[in-house]
């Protein structure tokens, strides 16, 4: 079988030259040398033209097709999209299908690699978070068993510290359990009409002592009552986490401000501070479990590293999205939308996305 374009070109050219010579031989004045010359010219021209035609129109595309298939066979799905621009003719659609398949498989591989990296990081983080309070409590109890239990003052102090460590472990496990249940939809939201102004005022009262310890002013900008359709317990948790983060990581003598901006169907909530800010490279990861911008500083400030992950899941359960903007040494701003009535819930996701796009454009 003829497998190369040159052999096909020779075969086809010979057939064409033979037919041309046979046709010329039908004329009475045709001379044998004329027939030989006619055959040679037709054959040479046919070889050149057929070689170029077969090479450019068919075999080049077939070779590229085999190259792509060989890459896929070797589990190499990184095909160059620019190759499609040089392909035309009947095989173009086939090339597009192969590229589409390879791109899909490559995306699946990339996603699996990311998930595997996230899994390893998550296991390392949760192991560290669980180990810290367990080892602390174990150390205090072991010290008591080694004889310190006979000293009443030491016994009381060490038992208090062990209890505090175990309480921290309990809170961590509870946060993990709640986050997992929210992600799987086990925890249902108890939607009702709530007054965001009142919830925020209660949160400020709860956190006033922490704010005063760092000379941070808590500001609430609201037109008064600000009604929203939400789960009061979960939304309160969102306010507590975000305001408390502003207090922890804000500058001493600074402020944490909450702005409530109601409209006909939605209420925009903005929580901002003038703290140290978050570097841009960390912004896309701050809602991950256990992710900390500065691990040492965050550990000193306390917390499980799950606060923002829980906040994100609560906002998602309210059919909205949370947005974060931050500049180093200038502060951080979180914002999200809540519907003012139940009928607005289905449209809230679209409205939020459009609003964020408009802000990004501005």
The whole-chain average pLDDT of the chain stands at 78
Band of pLDDT at residue 362, cut at 50, 70 and 90 = very low
Contact indicator for 287, 306 with CB cutoff of 8 Å: no
Q: How confident is the model at residue 178 (pLDDT cuts 50, 70, 90)?
A: confident
**Which residues, listed in sequence order, are joined to residue 256 by a DSSP beta bridge?**
218, 273
**3 state DSSP class of 126:** helix
Task: Please tell me the distance from the alpha carbon of residue 202 to that of residue 258, in angstroms, as a whole number.
Answer: 13
More confident residue, 307 or 219: 219
Q: Encode pLDDT of 239-274 as tens digits.
A: 999 999 999 888 889 999 999 998 888 899 999 999
Task: Please tell me the predicted confidence (pLDDT) of residue 174.
Answer: 77
Q: pLDDT of 68-92, one tens digit each?
A: 667 766 666 565 554 544 555 556 6
In this structure, of 86-95, 150-159, 187-196, 345-354, the range with the lowest mean pLDDT score is: 345-354
360 in Cβ contact with 312 (< 8 Å): no
Question: Percent of the chain scored above 70 by pLDDT?
Answer: 73
Residue whose structure tokens are 């609430």:
220
- pLDDT at residue 102 tops 60: yes
What is the three-class DSSP state of 146?
A: coil
pLDDT at 198 over 90: yes
pTM higher than 0.85: no
Displacement of CA 274 from its chain's centroid (Å): 27
Query: Which residue in 201, 90, 179 sits closest to 129, CA to CA?
Result: 179
Look at residue 309 in the predicted model and tell me its pLDDT.
87
Q: Is the pLDDT of residue 359 over 50?
A: no
pLDDT of residue 322: 93
The tokens describing 52, both together, are: 């170029």
- What region, left, alpha or beta, does residue 253 occupy, with left being phi > 0 and alpha being psi -120 to 50 degrees? left
pLDDT above 90 for 197 = yes
Task: Kindly report, residue by residue over 308-358, the tens digit of the pLDDT.
Answer: 888 998 999 898 999 999 998 889 999 999 998 776 555 555 444 444 444
Residue 219, pLDDT > 90, answer: yes
């Amino acid at each position: 079988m003829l497998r190369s374009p040159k052999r096909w070109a020779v075969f086809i050219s010979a057939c064409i030259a033979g037919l041309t010579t046979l046709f010329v031989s039908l004329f009475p004045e045709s001379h044998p040398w004329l027939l030989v010359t006619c055959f040679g010219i037709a054959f040479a021209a046919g070889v050149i033209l057929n070689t170029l035609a077969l090479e450019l129109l068919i075999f080049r595309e077939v070779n590229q097709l085999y190259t792509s298939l060989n890459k896929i066979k070797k589990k190499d799905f990184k095909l160059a999209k620019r190759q499609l621009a040089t392909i035309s003719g009947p095989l173009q659609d086939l090339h597009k299908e192969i590229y589409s398949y390879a791109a899909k498989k490559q995306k699946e591989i990339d996603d699996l690699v990311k998930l595997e990296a996230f899994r390893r990081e998550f296991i390392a983080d949760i192991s560290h978070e669980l180990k810290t309070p367990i080892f602390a409590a174990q150390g205090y109890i072991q010290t008591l068993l080694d004889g310190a239990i006979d000293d009443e003052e030491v016994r009381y102090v060490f038992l208090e510290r062990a209890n505090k460590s175990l309480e921290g472990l309990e809170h961590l496990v509870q946060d993990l359990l709640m986050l997992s249940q929210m992600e799987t939809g086990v925890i249902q939201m108890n939607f009702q009409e709530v007054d965001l102004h009142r919830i925020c005022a209660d949160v400020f009262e709860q956190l006033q002592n922490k704010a005063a310890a760092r000379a941070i002013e808590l500001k609430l900008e609201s037109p008064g009552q600000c009604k929203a359709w939400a789960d009061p317990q979960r939304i309160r948790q969102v306010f507590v986490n975000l305001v408390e983060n502003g207090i922890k990581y804000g500058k001493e003598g600074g402020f944490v401000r909450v702005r409530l901006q109601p409209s006909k169907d939605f209420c925009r909530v903005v929580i901002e501070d003038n703290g140290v800010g978050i570097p841009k490279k960390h912004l896309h990861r701050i809602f991950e479990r256990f992710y900390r911008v500065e691990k040492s500083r965050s550990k000193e400030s306390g917390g499980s590293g799950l606060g923002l992950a829980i906040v994100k899941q609560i906002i998602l359960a309210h059919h909205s999205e949370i947005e974060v903007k931050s500049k180093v040494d200038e502060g951080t701003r979180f914002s999200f939308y809540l519907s003012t009535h139940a009928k607005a819930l289905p449209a809230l996701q679209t409205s939020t996305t459009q609003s964020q796009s408009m802000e990004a454009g501005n």
